[in-house]
């Protein structure tokens, strides 16, 4: 087997961030090479350099021994590098055949040669071992068929190297099997495949080689056999020697009634098998890798998404939640996506902070001026860097916006607060303040569910930890230490 792609010493810098710091990456013909890493590891930057979305600052790309410099995705496609992203970019009202040849329609004197279109589409699908009615509009097909069509389109251009970015995110178990069959076929045809996924089990099912990136550096490259799950997880999260220290023992008043409990709770393509109970004064940490279903769990608890299996109990009564009902029941959520789901960009910082308290009070009675003092106190306590609270929140830095969003809920003091990545983008000092505030409110009887990609933060703040893997809860942590939790994430069901 000969080397198909060799990227060496790839460096890419964005203003303020070195996204790739001299990464080497090699794909051999007929090989599935898994590219792994958490958020910000540099996976997508590497792929974008490869597919010509942007040029590398330095480094070399060799395709079958020739130096290439793709200047655009079209350019990369011409060179034989095709990519299928999570967002498929299909035209839902066009047929399967049209979607496959779109942009490269065979033209004759009378316009598009439709018979040739169908022949080519059928052929491209046959290469995947599929027989479909190519006249069907793609929008009416299952997500799996849509994905396979996108792959067929990528292959229609004599691709030598195929990039699959999160191909199974919206597929069923059976459909994943189908996809794997197709991948095996393509391997046999000598294609090189770069496979990006967050699902550990898939990697071990399909990959011949694994490369792990972290903070723009290659931190590992080995065969699955030589890289057990435990080691892989450690490489991704970046703790070769995780702290074995148990979290500080905390007093939890056991007398409290169960606030919220989940039994076999789940939602298709989101998260499943959630089993836990939360009492006042508890912090339930959700531990797991990226895309393991942590945010999805919070969305179910706050009523943004409806569960389709299992039961959610609120104060011992089965509940069908919407965000409004959840709020009225005393549940709050600080979402991860602060720009799209959190801030009101044209409102002032003060309005952004006080809006939840105002909603609790109702629209008719405006918060009195005296409530402003609470916002000012929060500004000082969380060190929100702004001269005054009357300017628009859009003028604040990301970290300060995040603090304002937390302040919103800390003032409102719900019974249960769901925190999704509460300290992302926040300076160390404020992180400390926030951890302290959570602990103080907890000891006063508030309950939390905490999601953080920093395991140390989860261990520090939680009174118990639920472990999620591949969109399923696999149990609660036996032992509140980073090492024990990492082991459980890696080992999965026991």
Residues that bind other proteins (CB under 8 A): 302, 304, 323-324, 326-328, 333, 335, 340-347, 351, 355-356, 358-367, 392, 408
| Least distance (Å) between residue 305 CB and other proteins | 12
Shorter beta-carbon distance to other proteins: residue 227 or 353: 353
| Least distance (Å) between residue 417 CB and other proteins | 13
| Least distance (Å) between residue 364 CB and other proteins | 5
In 10-58, where does DSSP find H-type helix?
43-50
Total length of the chain: 494
Q: In whole angstroms, how far apart are CA 124 and each of 31, 38, 270?
A: 20, 34, 31
Shorter beta-carbon distance to other proteins: residue 69 or 328: 328
What the block records as the tokens of 357 is: 């308290």
- How many angstroms separate the CA atoms of 298 and 128, rounded? 38
Shorter beta-carbon distance to other proteins: residue 356 or 468: 356
Q: In whole angstroms, how far apart are CA 286 and each of 312, 363, 438?
A: 17, 35, 16
User: Of all helices (H) and strands (E), which one includes residue 152?
Assistant: helix 143-155
Shorter beta-carbon distance to other proteins: residue 110 or 364: 364
| Least distance (Å) between residue 349 CB and other proteins | 13
Shorter beta-carbon distance to other proteins: residue 88 or 353: 353
Instruction: Express the helix, strand and coil content of the chain in percent, nearest 5 each.
Output: 35, 25, 40
Shorter beta-carbon distance to other proteins: residue 356 or 484: 356
| Least distance (Å) between residue 62 CB and other proteins | 44
Shorter beta-carbon distance to other proteins: residue 129 or 345: 345
Residues 350/391, Cβ–Cβ less than 8 Å: no
CA end-to-end span of the chain, whole Å? 38
What the block records as the tokens of 309 is: 């299996």
> Which residue, among 8, 12, 47, 49, has the nearest Cα to 25 in the 3D structure?
8
CB within 8 Å of 75: residues ≥ 6 apart: 52
User: Of all helices (H) and strands (E), which one includes residue 35?
Assistant: strand 32-36
**DSSP state letter for 395:** G
| Least distance (Å) between residue 359 CB and other proteins | 5
| Least distance (Å) between residue 336 CB and other proteins | 11
Sign of CA dihedral 289, 295, 296, 297: positive
Shorter beta-carbon distance to other proteins: residue 209 or 352: 352
| Least distance (Å) between residue 129 CB and other proteins | 41
- Cα angle 387, 392, 395 (rounded to 5 degrees) comes to 70
């Amino acid at each position: 087997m000969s080397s198909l792609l060799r990227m060496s010493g790839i460096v890419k810098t964005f203003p303020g961030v070195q996204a790739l710091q001299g990464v080497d990456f090699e794909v051999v013909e007929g090989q599935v090479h898994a590219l792994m890493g958490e958020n910000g590891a540099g996976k997508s930057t590497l792929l974008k350099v490869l597919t010509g979305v942007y040029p590398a600052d330095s480094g070399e790309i060799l395709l079958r021994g020739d130096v290439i410099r793709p200047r655009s995705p079209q350019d990369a496609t011409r060179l034989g590098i095709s990519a299928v992203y999570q967002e498929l970019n299909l035209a839902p009202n066009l047929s399967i055949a049209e979607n496959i040849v779109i942009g490269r329609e065979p033209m004759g004197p009378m316009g598009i040669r439709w018979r040739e279109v169908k022949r080519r589409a059928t052929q491209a699908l046959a290469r995947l071992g599929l027989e479909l009615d190519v006249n069907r509009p793609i929008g009416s097909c299952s997500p799996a068929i849509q994905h396979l069509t996108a792959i067929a389109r990528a292959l229609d251009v004599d691709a030598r190297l195929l990039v699959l970015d999160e191909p199974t995110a919206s597929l069923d178990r059976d459909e994943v099997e189908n996809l794997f069959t197709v991948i095996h076929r393509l391997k046999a045809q000598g294609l090189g495949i770069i496979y990006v996924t967050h699902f550990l089990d898939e990697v071990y099912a399909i990959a011949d080689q694994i490369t792990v990136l972290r903070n723009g550096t290659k931190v590992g490259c080995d065969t699955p056999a030589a890289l057990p799950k435990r080691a892989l997880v450690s490489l991704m999260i970046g703790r070769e020697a995780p702290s074995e220290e148990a979290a500080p023992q905390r007093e939890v008043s056991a007398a409290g009634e169960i606030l919220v409990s989940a039994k076999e709770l789940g939602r298709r393509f989101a998260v499943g098998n959630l089993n836990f109970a939360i009492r006042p004064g508890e912090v339930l940490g959700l531990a797991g890798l990226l895309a393991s279903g942590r945010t999805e769990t919070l969305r179910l608890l706050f009523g943004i998404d409806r569960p389709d299996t299992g039961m959610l109990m609120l104060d011992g009564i089965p509940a069908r939640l919407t965000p409004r009902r959840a709020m009225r029941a005393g549940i709050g959520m600080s979402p991860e996506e602060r720009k799209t789901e959190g801030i009101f960009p044209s409102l002032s910082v003060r309005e952004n902070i006080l809006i939840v308290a105002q909603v609790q009070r109702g629209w008719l009675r405006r918060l009195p001026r005296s409530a402003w003092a609470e916002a000012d106190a929060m500004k000082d306590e969380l060190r929100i860097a702004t001269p005054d609270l009357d300017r628009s929140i859009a003028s604040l830095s990301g970290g300060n916006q995040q603090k304002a969003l937390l302040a919103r809920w800390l003032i409102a003091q719900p019974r249960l607060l769901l925190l999704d990545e509460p300290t992302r983008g926040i300076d160390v000092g404020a992180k400390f303040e926030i951890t302290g505030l959570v602990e103080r409110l907890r000891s006063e009887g508030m309950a939390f569910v905490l999601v953080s990609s920093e395991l140390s933060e989860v261990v520090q703040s939680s009174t118990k930890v639920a472990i999620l893997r591949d969109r399923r809860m696999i149990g609660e942590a036996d032992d509140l230490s980073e090492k024990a939790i990492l082991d459980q994430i890696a080992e999965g069901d026991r």
